[in-house]
Amino acid sequence: MTATAPFYETKTLAQMTRSEWESLCDGCGRCCTLLLEDEDGAVWRTSLACRLLDLKTVRCGDYANRHARVPGCVKLTPDTVGQLGWMPDTCAYRLIAEGKPLPQWHPLRTGDTGSVIAAGISVKGELISEALVDEDDQEDYITGRVL
């Protein structure tokens, strides 16, 4: 008997069901890191987390209402994901959009949501909330350039 290939190897992002789409997120929290854009258009990553990110679970604290509560929270769609150059190169949506396989540590491969942490991909333990930092001081938390 031939094993059926998993959906993430056979479907495009646009072909996935809602639950398949949601399961692609590995929960790394990297896209919830505060990015700063300077006057020249350069984008910088910081060690600050979106104020809605639960730093213990590394999950959004209000996923259903995230776009209403955080206007800068990106709306990922099959059409937009390939255009978001700042998305982490480990992000499953970006990988699938680029025709690449999911990494071996992805929870859909391991069956373990903790594998993203074990692989050192998660931001768990690396960030502090932007809510604790004055907006004028955010530049002090820059860790590197993204774009």
Of the candidates 104, 108, 113, 43, the one whose C-alpha atom is nearest the C-alpha of residue 72 is 43
CB count, 10 Å around CB of 53? 25
Q: Does residue 88 interact with ligand SF4 by CB under 6 A?
A: yes
Minimum CB–partner distance for residue 15 and ligand SF4 (Å):
18
CB count, 10 Å around CB of 60? 20
Quote the tokens at residue 48: 């600050």
Q: Does residue 109 interact with ligand SF4 by CB under 6 A?
A: no
Query: Which of 13, 25, 96, 117: binder of ligand SF4 (CB under 6 A)?
Result: 25
Query: 93 and 86 in contact (C-beta within 8 Å)?
Result: no
Query: Which of 21, 29, 105, 141: binder of ligand SF4 (CB under 6 A)?
Result: 29
Render the burial of 30-47: b for 16+ CB within 10 Å, e for the rest: bbbbbeeeeeeeeebbbb
Query: Which of 32, 48, 95, 97: binder of ligand SF4 (CB under 6 A)?
Result: 32
Question: Is residue 124 classed exposed, middle or buried when 0-12, 13-18 and 19+ CB atoms within 10 A define those classes?
Answer: middle
Query: Which of 13, 48, 60, 97: binder of ligand SF4 (CB under 6 A)?
Result: 60
Query: Which of 70, 84, 119, 146: binder of ligand SF4 (CB under 6 A)?
Result: 70
Minimum CB–partner distance for residue 63 and ligand SF4 (Å):
6
Which parts of this chain interact with ligand SF4 (CB under 6 A)?
25-32, 50, 52-53, 60, 66, 70, 73, 88, 91-93
